Amino acid sequence: MNRVLWLWGILFALWLPLSNHFEPLFIGFGLATCTIAVVVGARMGIVDRESVPVHLVWRGIRYVPWLVWEIFKSNVRVARIILAPRVRVDPSIVHFEASQKTDLGRFIYANSITLTPGTVTTGIVGDDFEVHAIVQEEIDGSEENDMNRRVAVLEGEGG
Amino acid sequence: MDQVLSVLTWALLLSGAFFLVTGALGMVRLPDVFTRMHAAGMADTMGAGLILAGLCLYSGANLVTVRLVLILAFLWFTSPIATHALAKAALSGGTEPYTLGAGTDGEGEGGGAP
């Protein structure tokens, strides 16, 4: 129930700046729309820990700045590869085991890997991640372990 | 103050444009679909990110900035999924990833020579 209220709040907070109308009539439309969407979602049983992960918000706020910094660093590395007088790439597909326990944690980790240029998640089977890297060092380094550990902390105990 | 703000805005817009151009250049210079995805990822993340950050500074503290941040959030949530779908489709379609050892002149794509 708590999660349903959270979803309603998030939807309305999203609707308000996107509509940019503050007359009572339009606000009423917004309230009604959010309510219908949440009621339908709740009746379908899709409002759960996975679809509305509000328990991750506080830890997520600490994770995002670190991720943005990682994205910046790997952008610079890939830009250097592309702009070098002779393009030297050594791409490979590597497999490794991720330490997240929940599907949501794996999803966040896989998306973080893909979001940092130079590495793309091409497949996940259980714990086994299949990642394509533009140069081997992108995936061998300690930064990948760091990200793995941080996402495991983010998802918390048992997700 | 206005001066500082517009200099910062321009710096962000230009560095965003730099990453977009570098990403486009990577599409031409890199050897195969998988390595090119990394170049496209640059345009998605830093290119769009820095340009939107510059526009946020330009518009100041108002609802437009909120919307710009939302655009960036949705972009950063969806683009890795699109990239992943592309990679998975290429792999199941039987595309062999380019590797350093395997000859550089397959399918008319040079080994990334300028």
Q: Which tokens is B69 given?
A: 């941040």
A82 within 8 A of A118, measured Cβ to Cβ? no
* Residue B14: Cβ within 10 Å count: 12
B19-61: pLDDT as tens digits: 999 999 999 999 889 999 999 989 989 999 999 999 999 998 8
A65 within 8 A of A116, measured Cβ to Cβ? no
pLDDT at B85: 92
Identify the residue among A78, A83, A151 best suited for mutation to test binding to B, counting B beta carbons within 10 A and taking the highest.
A78
In residues, how long is chain A? 159
Distance from CA of A103 to the nearest CA of B (A): 15
DSSP per residue over A108-135, as a string?
HHHHHHHHSTTEEEEEEETTEEEEEESB
What does the pLDDT average to over A9-28? 91
* A87 contacts B30? CB cut-off 8 A: yes
Structural domain boundaries in chain B? 2-92
SS3 state of residue A90: strand
